[in-house]
A and B are shown apart, each in its own frame.
Chain A
Amino acid sequence: MTATVLVIEDEPQMRRFLRTLVTGHGYRVLEAGTGEEGITLAATHAPDIVLLDLALPDIDGLEVTRRLREWSATPIIVISAREQEQDKVRALDLGVDDYLTKPFGAAELLARLRAALRRSQRIQGSESATFSFGDLRVDLATRRVVRGGEEVHLTPIEYRLLVLLVRHAGKVLTHRQILQEVWGAAHTDHPHYVRVFMAQLRRKLELDPARPRYLATETGVGYRLRTSVTDALDENATPDEDEETPT
């Protein structure tokens, strides 16, 4: 079944580009030029995914997010300009699934769309107990992490952090979200906790911790576990293909 993408974007040329790109890859498109229009369309047409520009003429993207999230769990990907870093993070903390920074390429957009749709289509409860990426295998049932055949010893916090990333594989997690899940709500003002432990994880799990292949840092935003090395730039997969290798 073809997925429907709701594009909420006020600039006509941008809308045209998104429409052409998205329909060219087999999706159906709904378009809205204002935030209000977008919310209405979302309510009446139940799209499978929303592409939302943070800079809208009537109500801002964050407000649209807040209102959509009041009643909908539909994946939302926000598009923002480089200067709007704070807004990006706020949007993610409000429940947006992913983001794109202008100028972005077609491949990046398609990859994010696919990943977000895949995640939302996964049925709860059918989550696999093991997860593999690269030469790493994480077995959630036995709480073991194996790298290239050898066991890796992780501290409890490191393990909790890894599992969080694994459960949200392919999706960006903000510092705040990670702090909340791993350290609890009392520590959400200490992003450096996350940084220190991500550095430790990279040292234990990555070939080159300074240039990680899977434990990716999204500067100013948070972290993302890449499900495949080319996850960000996969041009060949079609919308319905599943690229993960859960076993």
Chain B
Amino acid sequence: MLEPYVADADLVMVYLIGVLAVAVNGRLVPSLTTAGLSIAAYDFFFVLPRYTFAVHDADFLITFAVMAVVGALISNLAARIKREARLEGAVETERMRNAVLSSVSHDLRTPVGVILGAAETLLDTKAEVSAHARNELVATIRDEADRLARLLRNLLEMTRIAGGGMHLACEWHVPEEIVGGALARLEPQLVGRPVRVDIEPGLELVRVDGTLVEIVLVNLVENATKYTPPGTAIDVVVGRRGSAACFEVLDAGPGLPLGSPDALFEKFVRGHAGAEGVGLGLAICRAIVEAHGGRITARARDDGPGARFVVDLPGAGEQPPGVPIGSTESTVSS
């Protein structure tokens, strides 16, 4: 009944698309099976005499043979492409793992060494250690343990993200609160530094994963404290750009290192060789920002010396339905 509308050639096209669809979404055997079944169905329903597997016109045997060969080729090709993609993923994971191992052994050995040395000195009954020196050693143990904790936190975060474990829990957040949370976490590093927070009035709420965006800001502000001279100002600016929320961290330091600013966001890249940390902060930022569908860029400031990190996140579009507020009268009763 479809005869006037469907030519034989069209049916063959449909067949090919069908096989390709199964090959891309499934595996080799199902796609080969699809090919076989499709050819049989084509024979049964469309090739004269209808509703039998017999064939009046011998030409169709050649058609079937070609369909079978093409179907098999497509299936094989798709299977091979998928296998190669999987391999590439495995190679990348392996490379990551090696980089992590070498970085870990290099950067974590020092604090561990210091802690061991300090502890052993304290336990050494033969050593003459004054009370003052004792306190210093213990304080050193605490400081190095702190450093280890921070390094490990970054490593864990990165491993979780790289393992595809980033699951965004987006809610409506007050931008000032996310900034405040980040600054609170960095209080010791921010001592003696003027920090200016500028939130665009009217940007009430942004729809993001608050915990993750806070991590981005912590990493950006922490970098600013690491790479700029003590006492120099750090600015955090939040504004709206269309339907995107724009978080910026600006410093007044020496600016970005030479080379492509994009390279800074690669894993295990550090601002300069002797810097503290494993070099994952910006990579983590990028992973989080991109998971939100946003963009993070680094550039020089155009209003003076220093670096400017810009994070654009979608999520400042339509504001959520209004918050029930009750009456707006004040509470003062006469």
Contact = CB atoms under 8 A, between A and B. Distances in A.
Interface string B299-333: 00000000000000000000010011111111111
Give chain B's interface secondary structure class.
mixed
A14 interface: no
A197 B332 contact: no
Contacts of B156: 83
Contacts of A217: 177, 180-181, 184
A151 B331 contact: no
B214 interface: yes
B325 A157 contact: yes
A155 interface: yes
A210 B325 contact: no
B122 interface: no
A119 interface: no
Interface in A162-200: 183, 187, 190-193, 195-199
A83 B181 CA distance: 17
Contact of B210 (A202, A211, A216, A219): A219
Interface in B176-195: 176-177, 179-181, 183-184, 195
Given A144-B332, A156-B331, A157-B325, A196 B205 contact: yes
Contacts, number: 88
B1 to A, nearest CB: 53
A156 B172 contact: no
Given A103-B149, A143-B333, A209-B176, A156 B183 contact: no
A154 B320 CA distance: 23
Nearest to B180: A210
A138 B150 CA distance: 39
Contacts of B195: 211
A85 interface: yes
Given A85-B211, A193-B324, A195-B172, A210 B199 contact: yes
B324 A183 contact: yes
B174 A195 contact: yes
B171 A192 contact: yes
B153 A82 contact: yes
Given A153-B332, A211-B180, A199 B174 contact: yes
Interface in A191-240: 191-193, 195-199, 202, 208-212, 216-217, 219-220
A27 to B, nearest CB: 22
Contact of B326 (A103, A144, A156): A156
A208 B183 CA distance: 12
A159 interface: yes
Given A82-B153, A210-B197, A195 B173 contact: yes
Nearest to B153: A82
B329 A193 contact: no
Contact of A196 (B183, B197, B204, B332): B204
A196 B324 contact: no
A208 B179 CA distance: 12
A159 B210 CA distance: 26
B323 A193 contact: yes
A221 B161 CA distance: 22
A151 B332 contact: yes
A159 B331 contact: yes
Interface in A75-106: 82-83, 85, 103
A83 B153 CA distance: 10
A220 B211 contact: yes
A79 to B, nearest CB: 15
Contacts of B326: 155-157
Contacts of B176: 199, 202, 209-210
A151 B330 CA distance: 11
A209 B197 CA distance: 10
Contacts of A103: 145, 149
A198 B183 CA distance: 17
Contacts of B204: 196
A52 to B, nearest CB: 22
16 contacts: A103-B145, A144-B331, A153-B331, A155-B326, A156-B327, A190-B323, A191-B171, A191-B172, A192-B172, A192-B323, A196-B205, A197-B323, A208-B197, A210-B176, A217-B181, A219-B210
Closest 8 CB pairs of A and B: A192-B172, A153-B330, A210-B197, A219-B181, A199-B174, A159-B331, A195-B174, A193-B323
Given A145-B331, A191-B172, A216-B184, 7 more contacts: A156-B327, A159-B331, A193-B324, A196-B174, A210-B180, A219-B181, A220-B211
